[in-house]
């Protein structure tokens, strides 16, 4: 039987609590002990019973719908260094944990993948320096790791949806519905900046769901001249047809084809100067990450938590660490290494201005 730990890492996302609940209860149901690592990788680096806590069935009561993550999260710098991962390895062994489930975004899962790959050398070093006994060295030779993707950004390759993305999308749509009323009353334009880091999924989907006039996303950059021209033509047409409100959604990662960031204020200036529209900027900020999880995220997080426990019990030293994904409405296992690699390649292709490659990488993960 395994001692299975769950941690949440990176930016919190609605549904992370549901994932923790599912992992804890599925682990106990299968006769394992369940643990929570508090404060993400920070808790692993610090170690001890304050940060690595055994969880009972009742400890996660009420978690299903709650927003945020009750076991805490952090963006941990120490874990990025080998020394941080070495001490984390020791702390896991001290707590008797031999399977780890990480619910987080691409950065957190990249960390998990690195930890898994380094584990043999970390444990060897701990044995050579007498930090662990020979018995522990033999007992903890393999750490089973599994990723469940929790992030509002929906930016992880090989999964159709990340836990939290639909809740965040719901928050954005509600906010824009509110803005609509005041925009319409004053016949104003609003430029709404939404999160998503380097991914435009939230902006794109919110644009469709609120019938925004124009959206700017990192995946479809054009020259400054082109986007300004196109936006003004479209907004101008809508206004000519009698539309009293204008909504432009800007992804926080929106860029021009020469990689210059496009800010909400840049967009506002164009609407004011070229179309003479009375324009306001609304940056939704962390409101997008708050609140309870929508039904889809509760279900996704629960099914993925149950599958993650099954996966860590199935994985042998020779099977690659899995990432629990959703593909065409089915909960599936994907190789964690592969998902991290594709996600990184997309970011690199954008950095190298190779937008075609970035798009084809995103397309290929869907057509696989």
Residue placing its CB nearer to ligand F6P in the complex, 310 or 362 = 362
The residues of the shown chain that bind ligand F6P, judged by CB under 6 A, are 11, 105, 151-153, 195-197, 252, 289
Beta pairing class for 322-327 and 330-335 = antiparallel
Measured CA to CA in angstroms, residue 209 lies from 69, 165, 169, 244, 253 at distances of 27, 14, 9, 19, 20
Q: Which is nearer to ligand F6P, 127 or 362 (CB)?
A: 362
Contacts of 60 (CB under 8 A, 6+ apart): 17, 20, 21, 24, 25
Catalytic positions: 153
b/e map of 321-341 (b: 16 or more CB within 10 Å)? bbbbbbeeeebebbebbbbbe
CB of 136 to ligand F6P, least distance (A): 36
Nearest-angstrom CA–CA distance, 75 and 142: 26
Cα 248 to Cα 123, 281, 296: the distances in Å are 52, 10, 27
CA-to-CA separations, 48 to 30, 36, 42, 73, in angstroms, rounded = 25, 12, 12, 17
Q: What is the largest CA-CA distance in the chain?
A: 78
Output DSSP code: residue 97. Answer: -
* Segment (H or E) for 58: none
CB atoms within 10 A of CB 132: 19
Q: Are 194 and 267 in contact (CB under 8 A)?
A: no
First-last CA distance in the chain:
35
């Amino acid at each position: 039987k395994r001692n299975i730990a769950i941690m949440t890492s990176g930016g919190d996302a609605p549904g992370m609590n549901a994932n923790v609940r599912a992992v804890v209860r599925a682990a106990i149901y299968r006769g394992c002990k369940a643990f929570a690592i508090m404060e993400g990788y920070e808790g692993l680096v610090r170690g001890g019973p304050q940060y690595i806590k055994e969880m009972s069935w009742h400890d996660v009561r009420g978690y299903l719908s709650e927003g945020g993550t009750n076991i805490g999260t952090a963006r941990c710098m120490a874990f990025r260094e080998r020394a941080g991962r070495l001490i984390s390895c020791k702390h896991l062994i001290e707590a008797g944990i031999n399977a780890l489930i990480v619910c987080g975004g691409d950065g957190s899962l990249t960390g998990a993948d690195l930890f898994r790959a380094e584990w043999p050398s970390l444990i060897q070093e701990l044995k050579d320096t007498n930090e662990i006994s020979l018995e522990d060295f033999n007992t903890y030779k393999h750490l089973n790791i599994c990723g469940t993707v929790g992030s509002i950004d929906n930016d992880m390759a090989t999964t159709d949806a990340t836990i939290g993305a639909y809740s965040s999308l719901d928050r954005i749509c509600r906010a824009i519905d509110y803005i609509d009323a005041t925009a319409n009353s004053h016949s104003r334009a609003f430029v709404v900046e939404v999160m998503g880091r380097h991914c435009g999924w939230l902006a794109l989907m919110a644009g469709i769901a609120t019938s925004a006039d124009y959206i700017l996303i990192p995946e479809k950059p054009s020259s400054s001249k082109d986007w300004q021209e196109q936006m003004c033509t479209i907004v101008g047409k809508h206004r000519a047809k009698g539309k009293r409100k204008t909504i432009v959604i800007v992804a926080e990662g929106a860029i021009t084809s020469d990689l210059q960031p496009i800010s909400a204020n840049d967009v506002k200036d164009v609407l004011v100067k070229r179309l003479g529209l009375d324009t306001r900027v609304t940056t939704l900020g962390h409101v997008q990450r708050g609140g309870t999880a929508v039904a889809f995220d509760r279900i996704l997080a629960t099914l993925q938590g149950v599958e993650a426990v099954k996966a860590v019990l199935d994985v042998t030293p020779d099977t690659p660490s899995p990432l629990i994904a959703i593909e065409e409405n089915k909960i599936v296992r994907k190789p964690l290494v592969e998902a991290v690699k594709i996600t990184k390649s997309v970011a690199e292709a954008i950095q190298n201005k190779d937008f075609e490659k970035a798009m084809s990488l995103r397309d290929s993960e869907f057509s696989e």
